Homo-oligomer: A and B are copies of this chain.
Amino acid sequence: MNDRKRIIVDCLQYCNYSESIFRDLIAGGVTAIHVTIAYHEDFAEMVQNITQWNTWFVQFPDLIFHGRDAGDVRRAQAEGRTAVFFGFQNSSPIEDDIGLIEICHTLGVRFMQLSYNNQSLLAAGCYESDDAGITRMGREVIGEMNRLGMVVDMSHSGDRSTIEAIEISERPIAITHANPRSWHSVARNKPDHVLKALGQSGGMLGFSLYPYHLKGSSDCTLEGFCEMVARTAELIGVDAIGIGSDLCQDQPASVVEWMRRGKWTKETPTVSQGFPPQPSWFRSNRDFGNIADGLREVGFSEEEVDQILGLNWLRFFEVSFDPRRASHEPATRHLPPSDNEGRITTDAGRSVRW
């Protein structure tokens, strides 16, 4: 690694957070993380999870703070802290109530998956045998998320639902943590036609480091991973890719059981193996330098490494988190400038569909 202060954004992780992990973030130079606030929680349970983060923000103000907009990424970089962005991996916290989306956005939630493995009120999950696409309520919810500035995340959704979300959403969407199915064929990875549609719409893919999403699982090599990144860049463009490590450091085996079973089944799981071991080259938030080295090895330029490790997500945050301006409202303080066609030119000079 060189000494230059790089912006590093990990757009999905769910560690068992502690002072030790917060210190890893600082030591690893991680500027911003998107953390999961809810998998199966209802609204009240989700609020309790936010109060836990609020307690950490008071306890460790020199390490972390609550990130709410793209400016907070630059603030974190300037102050040597890590900005923590909130997201849901499921729509359970909004229950059946579209009004709760704005409540959640006000509480700082910036990402929501429309479904998690199973059918939700909004979309199919990636493990359903049949995917009927975005539901009636799902269309309403996407519109409301677009209005408020909450990113539609389709990481655990079905392929048809994902394609439809890309088409319906007026803002670019994200697949925060998944890899190409053409590299490693599991339901949680995404087929090329979905990834292409994502890239063409201004959306973002975050590459997962979760072993079950990797070719060779825990034995996946850094070189193999980075070659996959290079092929994906050729497929959907180097602007459309970043990291969403899915790092679940220090979580007990009970957590992965709960992720899978939630409250929807009483089936006794087969003997749980807990979380699989991470690849040797990515075990904690201190290891992003290894990925940077690997990306350079497979031929990415220094600028492209910067893009993949953080600047692409930063550009995406810039167009994703601000509430939309209503036509009758006076100009707000938050929106980036847009041209006459409603396109927004980001700091990176790229025009993104709004």
Interface residues of A (CB under 8 A from B): 43-44, 47-48, 50-51, 54-55, 58, 61-62, 79, 97, 99-100, 102-103, 106-108, 326, 328-330
Report whether A61 and B100 are in contact in the complex, using a CB–CB cutoff of 8 Å.
Answer: no
Contacts of A79 in B (CB 8 A): 330
**Known contacts A44-B44, A106-B106, A107-B106; is-contact A97 B330 (Cβ 8 Å):** no
Contacts of A107 in B (CB 8 A): 103, 106-107
Complex Cα distance, B107 from A47, in Å, reads 12
Report whether B108 and A61 are in contact in the complex, using a CB–CB cutoff of 8 Å.
Answer: no
Q: How many copies does the complex hold?
A: 2
Give the interface centre of A48, A97, A329 by most chain B CB atoms within 10 Å: A329
A350 to chain B, nearest CB (A): 28
Can you list 18 A-B contacts with CB-CB less than 8 angstroms, sorted by A residue number? A44-B44, A47-B103, A48-B99, A50-B103, A51-B97, A51-B99, A51-B100, A51-B102, A51-B103, A54-B99, A54-B102, A54-B103, A58-B326, A61-B326, A61-B328, A103-B107, A106-B106, A107-B107
Contacts of A330 in B (CB 8 A): 79
> When A and B form their complex, which 7 residue pairs have the shortest distance between CB atoms, in order from nearest?
A51-B99, A54-B102, A61-B329, A61-B328, A106-B107, A61-B326, A47-B103
Contacts of A100 in B (CB 8 A): 47, 51
Contacts of A103 in B (CB 8 A): 47, 50-51, 54, 107
Contacts of A329 in B (CB 8 A): 61
Complex Cα distance, B50 from A99, in Å, reads 9
- With both beta carbons as reference points, the residue of chain B lying nearest to A103 in the complex is identified as B47
Complex Cα distance, B105 from A108, in Å, reads 12
Complex Cα distance, B329 from A306, in Å, reads 29
Contacts of A61 in B (CB 8 A): 326, 328-329
Complex Cα distance, B55 from A103, in Å, reads 11
Partner of A44, one of B43, B54, B62, B106: B43
Contacts of A47 in B (CB 8 A): 43, 100, 103
Contacts of A51 in B (CB 8 A): 97, 99-100, 102-103
